[in-house]
Amino acid sequence: GEDVEQSLFLSVREGDSSVINCTYTDSSSTYLYWYKQEPGAGLQLLTYIFSNMDMKQDQRLTVLLNKKDKHLSLRIADTQTGDSAIYFCAERDYGGSQGNLIFGKGTKLSVKP
Amino acid sequence: GAVVSQHPSWVICKSGTSVKIECRSLDFQATTMFWYRQFPKQSLMLMATSNEGSKATYEQGVEKDKFLINHASLTLSTLTVTSAHPEDSSFYICSATLGGPYEQYFGPGTRLTVT
């Protein structure tokens, strides 16, 4: 079945850039997403990218998509302590139940002052 | 933006009792709602897909008699954990979609602890 893989941890210093990587297996995915989860909270959609795009930029966030390698990345510029959270990569599963999301295990981003 | 609420935000119950969790779309009509479960330090796993007025579709391995889902209206879906056991303790998150292929809007989650 479909699978989404992420590294589990990333630690950066405040002000540096963070890059969170994700690989997925379903080549038919049309939308790929990045969600942020703060401790004890639900998920917040950060951004998404359509599969015919290579890059999408939204303020401090840059998403890069390499469809050939099925690799997705999220770059956070000028990382702040408030960016500390778990970041989930997700792909939309149209082969499953009505387009549900398949999530990676999440990357815990720790930002050191 | 679209807002999804869940109630309660946390609940503690005794083993053997049932617990109902509500998921509401506050400012839009959701044709489909999803229920996810998240264990500590793990990803979200889809439990079931709920469409208004029809029976929920459960993922493989999810007991439909244990996790009862009712989608009574376009703004409300409920998940009832029946005869809860400690292993049902988890973080339950719902999401709702406007019906397009673009976004799911997530609720804040409900933390269930079964003692």
The tens-digit pLDDT sequence of chain A (113 residues) is 668 999 989 999 999 999 999 999 877 767 899 999 988 778 888 998 988 899 999 999 999 999 999 999 999 999 999 999 999 999 876 654 456 788 998 999 999 99
The residues on B that touch A, with CB distances below 8 Å, are: 6, 32, 34, 42-44, 46, 49, 51, 57, 59, 93, 95, 97, 101-109, 111
Put simply, the answer to whether A103 touches B43 (Cβ < 8 Å) is: yes
What token pair was written down for A8? 């589990």
Query: Dihedral (C-alpha) B18, B28, B108, A77: value to the nearest 10 degrees?
Result: 160
Which chain B residue's Cα is nearest to A46?
A: B103
**pLDDT for the residue numbered A5:** 92
Residue A96 structure tokens: 């499953």
CB contact under 8 A, A97 and B57: yes
Looking at residue A27, its pLDDT comes to 73
Instruction: Report how far Cα A91 is from the mean position of its chain's Cα atoms.
Output: 10
Interface touch B101/A35, C-beta < 8 Å: no
Phi, psi of B23 (to 5 degrees): -130, 120
Chain A residues in contact with B108 (beta carbon < 8 A): 41-42
Contacts of A35 in chain B (CB under 8 A): 106
Q: Where are the beta strands (DSSP E) in chain B?
A: 4-7, 10-13, 19-25, 32-38, 44-51, 57-58, 67-73, 76-81, 90-97, 104-106, 110-114
The shortest CB-CB distance from A42 to any of B59, B97, B106 is to B106
Minimum distance, in Å, between the CA of residue A104 and any CA atom of chain B: 6
pLDDT in tens, chain B (115 residues): 688 999 999 999 999 999 999 999 998 888 889 999 988 777 888 899 888 888 899 998 999 999 999 988 999 999 999 999 999 999 999 999 876 555 788 999 999 999 9
Integer distance in angstroms from the first to the last C-alpha of chain B? 37
pLDDT at A95: 55
Q: Do B49 and A98 touch (CB under 8 A)?
A: yes
**Token digits of residue A63:** 């998403």
Chain-chain contact of B101 with A98 (C-beta, under 8 angstroms): no
Size of interface A-B (CB pairs under 8 A): 55
pLDDT at residue A94, rounded to an integer: 61
Query: Which of B39, B44, B112 to probe the A interface (max A CBs under 10 A)?
Result: B44
User: Which residues of A fall within a CB distance of 8 Å from B97?
Assistant: 99
For residue B28, give both structure tokens. 């839009």
